[in-house]
């Protein structure tokens, strides 16, 4: 695709968003999201400029061109994973994927809160299943994570996670074990130490059984922001004992902080993401960092919408950062803006530099 008048990739993305946002925000949020995915899937996006070498990150045995990733939930079935690098991401995480296709919860199930720059969803792991994703997924030019979960009606939920390891080994650069979505009944019970110990033992056993064939694929655990510190202690103890490769902090929250509780859409059931989640998720990130004691890296997610908030995640303990909801309000040009703001920093030195302060907030 040629670049009109010499416009850069970032300028084109920003210009396209300026035209598309008024239309998309007049539509039902889920319809707007589906149209966005279709547009990104078929649009012949130009390649972005190479990332500044200062943004390069090594984590989990993988190399990331930059530390900014697309969080799970945006691209549930991997439709645009192979194009995530064209949007400027250093990595992309697809899913959550379950063994069998499932429709998820009844619509409407996605709500915008524009004044708070927040989103509430109660999708319930709607996806097309392992077979479809494994058949259609194209290898990404950036690091690809696959987020796996369990079907709502599974008789053995742990077996569903094991199934995901078998289905996507050889395709995934890393796996995320999602036990923290609030939209599948009782799923968060898998964060309890005894259940988590069994889950990780079986998942890591499946991963290890495939290592000779596919190489060792890192396994990360994604946790909720609504944990007590006592609950977090139990999770980290199990995670360290099982020698997982990393943790993602955090998923959406069932709480409604600040002005969100006063918004009519804020009364909807589901997980809240976006700007109001930032303090809660970053505090949980810092608390996790202090407990992990550098045994493995962390991914910070929740409320990232600027270079400043991305840096705050890193200072709270994140080696890598993910975003999703901010794209709803700022568009894909945000990614280049964040990277530009981070390129002047010594990111490795910044990791965890303010974790103790954040943990007290």
pLDDT per residue as tens digits for the range 136-151: 998 888 999 999 999 9
| Residue 349 maps to a domain | yes
Q: Which helix (H) or strand (E) holds 197?
A: helix 193-209
> Is 153 inside a domain boundary?
yes
Asked if residue 46 is part of any domain, the answer here is: no
Q: Domain for residue 175, yes or no? A: yes
What pLDDT, in 10s, does the model give residues 269-306? 999 999 999 999 999 999 999 999 999 999 999 999 99
Give the number of domains in the chain. 1
Record the tokens describing residue 96, joined without a space. 């959550």
pTM over 0.75: yes
Start-to-end Cα distance in the chain:
47
Provide the pLDDT for residue 162.
Answer: 98
Q: How far is the CA of 76 from the CAs of 98, 137, 157, 174, 356, in angstroms?
A: 10, 11, 19, 16, 35
Positions marked catalytic: 181
Q: How confident is the model at residue 7 (pLDDT cuts 50, 70, 90)?
A: low
Q: What is the CATH number of the domain that holds 321?
A: 3.20.20.70
Name every residue whose Cβ is closer than 8 Å to that of residue 208 and which is 6 or more positions away in sequence: 216
Q: In this structure, is residue 300 part of a structural domain? A: yes
Query: CB atoms < 10 A from the CB of 14, how many?
Result: 18
Residue 4 banded pLDDT, cuts 50, 70, 90: very low
Q: Token pair for residue 158?
A: 């742990």
**pLDDT tens by residue, 109-134:** 999 999 999 999 999 999 999 999 99
The pLDDT of residue 78 is 96
Does residue 361 register a pLDDT over 50? yes
In a domain, 6, yes or no: no
What is the domain extent for residue 96? 25-41+51-360
Instruction: Classify residue 242 as exposed, middle or buried by CB count within 10 Å of its CB (0-12, 13-18, 19+).
Output: middle
**Which residues, 6+ apart, have CB-to-CB distance to 95 below 8 Å?**
72, 73, 76, 127, 146, 147, 148, 149, 176, 178
Per-residue model confidence as pLDDT tens digits over 11-38: 888 888 999 999 999 999 999 999 999 9
Query: Which DSSP category does 287 fall into?
Result: H
Q: Classify residue 28 by its DSSP letter.
A: -
pLDDT at 334: 96
Report if residue 277 sits inside a domain.
Answer: yes
Q: For the segment 299-341, what is each residue's pLDDT rounded down to a tens digit?
A: 999 999 999 999 999 999 999 999 999 999 999 999 999 999 9
Q: Is residue 19 part of a domain?
A: no
Neighbours of 68 (CB within 10 A): 27
């Amino acid at each position: 695709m040629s670049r009109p008048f010499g416009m850069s990739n970032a300028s084109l993305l920003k210009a396209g968003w300026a035209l598309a946002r008024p239309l998309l925000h007049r539509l039902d949020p889920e319809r707007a999201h589906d149209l966005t995915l279709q547009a990104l899937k078929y649009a012949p996006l130009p390649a972005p400029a190479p990332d500044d070498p200062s943004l390069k990150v090594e984590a989990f045995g993988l190399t990331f061109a930059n530390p900014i990733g697309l969080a799970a939930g945006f691209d549930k079935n991997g439709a645009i994973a192979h194009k995530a690098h064209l949007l400027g991401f250093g990595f992309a995480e697809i899913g959550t994927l379950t063994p069998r296709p499932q429709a998820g919860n009844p619509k409407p199930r996605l709500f915008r809160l524009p004044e708070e720059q927040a989103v509430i969803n109660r999708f319930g792991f709607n996806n097309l299943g392992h077979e479809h994703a494994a058949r259609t997924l194209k290898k990404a030019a950036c690091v690809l994570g696959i987020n796996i979960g369990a079907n709502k009606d599974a008789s053995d939920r742990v077996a569903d996670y094991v199934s995901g390891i078998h289905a996507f080994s050889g395709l995934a650069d890393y796996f995320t074990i999602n036990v923290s979505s609030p939209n599948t009944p009782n799923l968060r019970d898998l964060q309890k130490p005894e259940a988590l110990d069994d889950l990780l033992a079986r998942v890591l056993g499946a991963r290890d059984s495939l290592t000779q064939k596919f190489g060792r694929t890192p396994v990360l655990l994604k946790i909720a922001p609504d944990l007590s510190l006592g609950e977090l202690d139990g999770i980290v103890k199990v995670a360290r004992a099982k020698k997982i490769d990393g943790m993602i902090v955090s998923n959406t929250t069932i709480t409604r902080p600040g002005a969100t509780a006063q918004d009519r859409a804020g009364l909807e059931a589901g997980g809240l993401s976006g700007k109001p989640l930032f303090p809660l998720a970053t505090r949980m990130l810092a608390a996790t960092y202090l407990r992990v004691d550098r045994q493995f890296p962390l991914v910070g997610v929740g409320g990232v919408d600027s270079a400043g908030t991305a840096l705050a995640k890193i200072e709270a303990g994140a080696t890598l950062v993910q975003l999703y909801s901010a794209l709803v309000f700022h568009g894909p040009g945000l990614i280049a803006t964040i990277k530009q703001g981070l390129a002047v920093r010594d990111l490795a030195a910044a990791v965890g530099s303010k974790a103790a302060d954040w943990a007290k907030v």
